[in-house]
Amino acid sequence: MKYAALMMAFLLFAICVPNADGQSANPPVNERDWPAYGGGPRDIRYSPLAEINRENVKDLQVAWTYDTGEKGGLESSPIIVDGALYGISPLQKIFALDAATGKELWKFDSGSQGGQPNRGLSYWADGNDKRIFAGITNFVYALNASTGKPIPGFGENGRIDLRKDLGRDFALQSVVSTTPGIVYKDLIIFGDREPEVLPAPPGDIRAYDVRTGKLRWSFHTIPHPGEFGYETWPKDGWTHSGGANNWTGMALDEQRGIVYVPTGSAAADFYGGDRLGDDLFADCLIALNANTGERIWHFQEVKHDIWDRDFPSPPNLVTVTQNGRKIDAVALTTKSGYVFLFDRVNGQPLFPLRSRKYPESSTPGEKTAAEQVLPTVPAPFARQRLTEDMLTKRTPEAHAWAVKQFHTFHSDGQFLPFRVGEKTVVFPGYDGGAEWGGSAVDPDTAVLYVNANDVAWTGMLAENVSGNSLSGRTLYQSQCSVCHGDNRAGSPPQFPSLVGVENRRSRQEIVTMIEKGKGRMPSFAALSADQISALIEYVSTGEDKALPAVPESRAQAVSDESKYRFTGYDKFLDPDGYPAIEPPWGTLNAIDLNTGKYLWRITFGEYPELAAKGMKATGSENYGGPVVTAGGLLFIAATNFDNKMHAFDKATGKLLWEGDLPFAGNATPATYEVNGRQFVVIAAGGGKALNHPTGGVYVAFALPKDAAASH
């Protein structure tokens, strides 16, 4: 009896004593589940499940599929709690499935057809009160996890409106929830997605009561008078500037009560003459007191960003070992292909940073920051400077074309300011480097796994029409050309062409897209009916219809400050549509965060038609992140063209298994266990490859039942 009592005491001690990572040795969340975006509050995309392992992963097969019956693509990672899987359809219907069979349990249709990407859901429970929080357009719904019905006592009839509480006329704001909020105690903390041109709302970080929906605290990412950082903006910048928002997600140290918030760039993305200064807290990692919203520390990645080099990925919370000392750290990957690593308590960098001067802007009215900072360790996981010897050699014709084009570009690495009328290379491109899919970290080894894009884009500025005249053309230039280009050709599929849109869409469909947004396109709530009509007329026919003056609260085509505009995203592709640089065009990387050294690096993805001609392992653009498990595996889909789910040996990068998907899996997987059987599920919807079909199918893989039973 004494021995049994001692063993029980030992077990209780082991459960309750925190480990070096600030978490209990036996986490309170059921390890069989995947209860949050990123797997849990630390967002490390790790599972301790090991039924599926290096030896048997070759036997994985489809266990079930759930077809939403919708098209449009998916970027969502489902959550799994107590045997139920909660997910999102392409048109943003929320559903619950039996996680063992894929059988539908309930479905919620808000009546509002969401067109923006929606990457996941949040879960909160207190006894029998269990809630799913779902962002649909500008609303956040609280749903009963058992029935899918809105909870009447939350907000207004079960939902809150993220356009409110920003200090501006909410009806004119374009705000959507694309990444789920993070739950802390009885709070749910949200960022949002906003336009990348003015007018745009401020990117306040806000915490709401999970029971009532009442706002509990806000952190102003564009500081108000008297707040830290106010002097880094023009006077009263908080009243008219926009952006500096968290669109990609957060991470939470539950024990310390600290939420880590990466932010995006300020609007407008590529010309900052109306926001001269360092623009704190744009492009920052901010550590906030999760109870109050007070700033603990911050790090600004890019000062006065005019390149759209915002933090694109949620942070990862991990414990590293340096000089024999364990340090609780926060890691963050970037579009430019670097990894930053900080002490998560005080914000001190754990690898050396180097600050240096970069070229000044030649654009009148613009003033670049005096210096920018980059890590010296780890080495970047994407190439940094495009040179002529790196151009494509796929065919002699493609190479000759690329050389001719390259000679018209400015190319000199990071932080090279855009010029008026001359193209500048952005490498890696606007979509990274790292992207919203984020990274996975093995907590036992502190190895970070990140997939990356490695293709070049270009950008250029143009002078706006002088004065404040308002017309269809000036509206297009100020609001639309940043994505669709001055020539309306876009850069498909990320930025669709508008040439001939009047033949592909009805007028009402176009009006709805402008009013509500679709895909990466935000809503333009501030545009009046007359302005929308003039805009459509210009896009459809080229007729430049003049408009009368409108109130200041409405969108102005050109203001005295906005003298220059970005002419559009332009991916550097050869005439056949392939990247005009040498491979690899996509990579998968394993980085030891203890030392900053790479364990392995492989090309990731390929073009099936090139592979059939012998040009294999080129890598390809990829969207969606990895998951790492105690079974020695790294699961990832992400690749744009091959419609595959992949399993790699996490120690070596060796490909161990591939499974077919109905569409590209441009999302992050989840893994969980039900009834003793481990599953890996991915949302397959495509949408990131031009002229490839889209859909909305969830596919779950598992070992055969007899193999699982014998494990």
> Where exactly are the structural domains of the chain?
46-110+117-384+427-455+583-710, 465-561
Architecture of domain 46-110+117-384+427-455+583-710: 8 Propeller (2.140)
Other Cβ atoms closer than 10 A to 707: 16
Q: Judging by DSSP bridges, how do beta strands 564-566 and 461-463 pair with one another?
A: antiparallel
449-482 pLDDT per residue, tens? 999 999 999 999 999 875 456 788 777 877 887 7
Does position 8 have pLDDT exceeding 60, yes or no? Answer: no
The confidence score (pLDDT) of residue 114 equals 74
- Report the alpha-carbon distance of residue 490 to residue 501 in Å, rounded: 12
pLDDT category, 551, cuts 50, 70, 90? low
End-to-end CA distance of the chain: 33
Q: What is the mean pLDDT of the chain?
A: 91
**What mean pLDDT comes out for the span 371-389?**
98
Does position 7 have pLDDT exceeding 80, yes or no? Answer: no
223-240: string of b/e by CB count within 10 Å (b at 16+)?
beeeeebbebbeeebbeb
- Report the alpha-carbon distance of residue 176 to residue 196 in Å, rounded: 13
Q: Residue 435 has which token pair?
A: 């992207």
The confidence score (pLDDT) of residue 500 equals 83
C-beta of residue 294 within 8 angstroms of C-beta of residue 288: yes
**What mean pLDDT comes out for the span 539-560?**
62
CATH class of residue range 465-561: mainly alpha
C-beta of residue 677 within 8 angstroms of C-beta of residue 100: yes
The confidence score (pLDDT) of residue 26 equals 31
The confidence score (pLDDT) of residue 594 equals 98
**What mean pLDDT comes out for the span 201-207?**
97
- Report the alpha-carbon distance of residue 14 to residue 8 in Å, rounded: 10
The confidence score (pLDDT) of residue 466 equals 56
Does position 11 have pLDDT exceeding 80, yes or no? Answer: no
The confidence score (pLDDT) of residue 515 equals 74
**What mean pLDDT comes out for the span 668-691?**
95
Region of poorest pLDDT, from 176-180, 470-474, 597-601, 690-694: 470-474
Region of poorest pLDDT, from 115-119, 230-234, 646-650: 115-119
**What's the predicted TM-score (pTM) here?**
0.92
Residue 11 has φ and ψ, to the nearest 5°, of -65, -40
The confidence score (pLDDT) of residue 24 equals 32
Does position 553 have pLDDT exceeding 80, yes or no? Answer: no
163-172 pLDDT per residue, tens? 999 999 999 9
Amino acid at site 442: D
C-beta of residue 250 within 8 angstroms of C-beta of residue 190: no
Q: Residue 321 has which token pair?
A: 């070992």
Percent of the chain with pLDDT over 90: 78
The confidence score (pLDDT) of residue 550 equals 59
The confidence score (pLDDT) of residue 533 equals 81
pLDDT category, 527, cuts 50, 70, 90? confident
Region of poorest pLDDT, from 210-214, 270-274, 474-478: 474-478
pLDDT category, 13, cuts 50, 70, 90? very low
The helix/strand/coil state of 55 is: coil
